[in-house]
Amino acid sequence: MTAHSLPPLSMLDLVAVREGGTVAQALQIAARTAQHVEALGFQRYWLAEHHNMPGIASSATAVLVGHIAGATRTIRVGSGGVMLPNHAPLVVAEAFGTLAELYPGRIDLGLGRAPGTDGPTMRALRRDRVETEADFPRDVAELQHLLGPVQPGQRLVAMPGAGTQVPIWLLGSSLFSAQLAAERGLPYAFASHFAPRMLHAAIDLYRRLFRPSAACPKPYVVIGVPLIAAPTDAEAEYLASSTYQRVLGIVTGQRGLLRPPVEHYLEGLAYQERAAIADFLAVGVVGGPQTVRDGLAALAEATRADEFMLVSDVFDPDLRLRSLEIAAQAAT
């Protein structure tokens, strides 16, 4: 990346269900958005595992990855991520091994350490299993083994899965996954789109401790970037109020469907509410074309990220496509 260029763009989709809309419509919008960013030259399109959350339709992540891959031709499609504590590694290997056979060279497997849900749902997913800190590194190693070449005498073989070498990414918002990704020589994605506080510490640790591997010979960092673009700063700020409402719902425990934009939304909030939204979206970029370019350039300079993973929650699907198009133009 030169001083004048920005890193490649990718997209993370939570598959938001809009107020007045349906899950089926949300899935159709996701496929249409993936086709749009593929045409814009985005690197990859990831989907995130969440459970029991109103307004988010991405719980069956592997199924959605197949849906998006089937609706596109060249863009890489993957999980951002599969929450590994919720699944046996063999099940994940078989699911993503199947996807890799269906869409060769296009599937990514991003893995998260958090449950991606609340306590009761976590118990429903895992039944009586109790997670310990040692489980995640062990499960990652098992997945690497199951997706790698079959070894002599190997008794447990993922079929499909074995030999597909689906690229594994580690995701995180703290130092734990950064260190593990560095030790294993894996690419690393930081969840700065919702938890930016430890961004710089985590990517610095990852780069310092990185051990080259056959899969990833040098450190590779992706950062999540909330982005709302429009022809003017004022319109972008107006459209971003849908995201602000979603964020306030998250921080107050009142999640819901993605809501339409509201004029001067932030002005009607208490100081503490505005501060909570600002903290959540600290690396967010909201504005017209020049503001977007300047914001992305500042992020690139501050982080030296290898790729930006955009999250763009615009209520109107057409204006969301326009937002992503403005971002792509700003990044060239």
Domain boundaries, the chain: 227-301+314-332
- Residue 3's pLDDT is 44
120: exposed, middle or buried (C-beta count within 10 Å: 0-12, 13-18, 19+)? Answer: exposed
Q: What is the DSSP string of 100-151?
A: HHHSTT-EEEEEESS-SS-HHHHHHHHTT----TTHHHHHHHHHHHHHSPPP
Q: Any idea which residue has 């580690």 for tokens?
A: 170
- Residue 2's pLDDT is 46
Q: How many CA atoms lie within 13 A of 220 on its CB side?
A: 17
Give the span between the Cα atoms of 109 and 177, in whole angstroms: 15
Q: State both tokens at 207.
A: 């780069």
* Per-residue tens of pLDDT for the chain, all 332 residues: 444 579 999 999 999 999 999 999 999 999 999 999 999 999 999 999 988 888 999 999 999 999 999 999 999 999 999 999 889 999 999 999 999 999 999 999 999 987 655 566 656 665 556 566 678 999 999 999 999 999 999 999 999 999 999 999 999 999 999 999 999 999 999 999 988 999 999 999 999 999 999 999 999 999 999 999 999 999 999 999 999 999 999 999 899 999 999 999 999 999 999 999 999 999 999 999 999 999 999 999 999 999 999 999 999 999 999 999 999 999 98
Q: State both tokens at 188.
A: 């690393």
186: exposed, middle or buried (C-beta count within 10 Å: 0-12, 13-18, 19+)? Answer: buried
**168-172 and 221-229 beta bridge pairing:** unpaired
Give the span between the Cα atoms of 72 and 39, in whole angstroms: 10
Q: Are 140 and 184 in contact (CB under 8 A)?
A: yes
Beta strands, E only, the chain: 9-13, 44-47, 76-83, 107-112, 168-172, 188-190, 221-229, 285-287, 307-311
- Residue 114's pLDDT is 73
Query: b/e map of 259-294 (b: 16 or more CB within 10 Å)?
Result: bebeeebeeeeeeebbebbeebbebbbbbbbebbbe
Local structure of 189: helix, strand or coil: strand
Q: Are 13 and 45 in contact (CB under 8 A)?
A: yes
